[in-house]
């Protein structure tokens, strides 16, 4: 593995997951399509806005809703980008980065296997919560005029 893009294993505010600056590396690790979109996590709205344009109508909601992912039009990519502001203990770790791609620490379409997760991670970030599987975040797709629940 390249040292420039390490894979972190950490307990997010929702579930144990892998984090990395390279989403293709995470997709390959999980055994899924390399171009599949992954959630970009940040610790603040200001950092999120460097990647996507949040419609003014939804800025307060995006900032305040916890454990919720928003799919919005990307500033640099042709496609939309799923982004999430993380609050709580996990945001302290994310504060050291502009943003990290995040995905659950399991093989594609399977349950969490700590053995798999521990062998794949370059660095393990532990806190008092440990590593556990929990429910995933809600997902909404927002545009300039409407909002649609995806998950």
pLDDT tens-digit map of 75-85: 776 566 788 88
pLDDT, residue 74, reads 76
Spell out a b/e string for 83-116, using b for 16 or more CB atoms within 10 Å of the CB, else e: bbbbbeebbebbeeeebbbbbbbbbeeeebeeee
Rounded to an integer, what distance in angstroms lies between the CA atom of residue 109 and that of residue 136? 13
Is the separation of the CB atoms in 111 and 102 below 8 Å? Answer: no
Domain extent listing, the chain: 8-149
Rounded to an integer, what distance in angstroms lies between the CA atom of residue 85 and that of residue 11? 15
pLDDT, residue 2, reads 45
Tens digits of per-residue pLDDT, 104-150?
888 888 888 888 889 999 999 988 888 888 887 888 998 888 889 98
Confidence of residue 6 (pLDDT cuts 50, 70, 90): very high
- If one compares 67 and 103, the residue with the highest pLDDT of the two is 103
Confidence of residue 3 (pLDDT cuts 50, 70, 90): low
Q: Which two tokens stand for residue 47?
A: 């950092």
Whether 51 shows a pLDDT value over 70: the answer reads yes
Homologous superfamily assigned to 8-149: DHBP synthase (3.90.870.10)
pLDDT, residue 78, reads 58
Side-chain-side CA neighbours of 60 within 13 Å: the count stands at 1
pLDDT, residue 79, reads 65
Average pLDDT (85-103) is 87
């Amino acid at each position: 593995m390249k040292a420039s893009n390490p894979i972190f294993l950490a307990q997010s505010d929702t579930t144990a997951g892998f984090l990395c600056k390279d989403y293709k590396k995470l997709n390959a690790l999980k055994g899924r399509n390399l171009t599949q979109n992954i959630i970009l996590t940040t610790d603040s709205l200001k950092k999120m806005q460097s990647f996507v344009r949040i419609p003014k109508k939804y800025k307060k909601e995006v900032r305040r809703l916890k454990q919720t992912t928003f799919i919005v039009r990307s500033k640099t990519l042709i496609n939309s980008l799923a982004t999430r502001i993380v609050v709580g203990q996990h945001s302290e770790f994310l504060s050291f980065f502009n943003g990290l791609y995040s995905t659950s620490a399991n093989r594609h379409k399977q349950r969490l296997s700590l053995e798999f997760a521990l062998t794949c991670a370059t660095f393990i970030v532990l806190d008092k919560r440990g590593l556990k599987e929990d429910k995933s975040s809600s997902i909404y797709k927002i545009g300039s005029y409407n909002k649609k629940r995806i998950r």
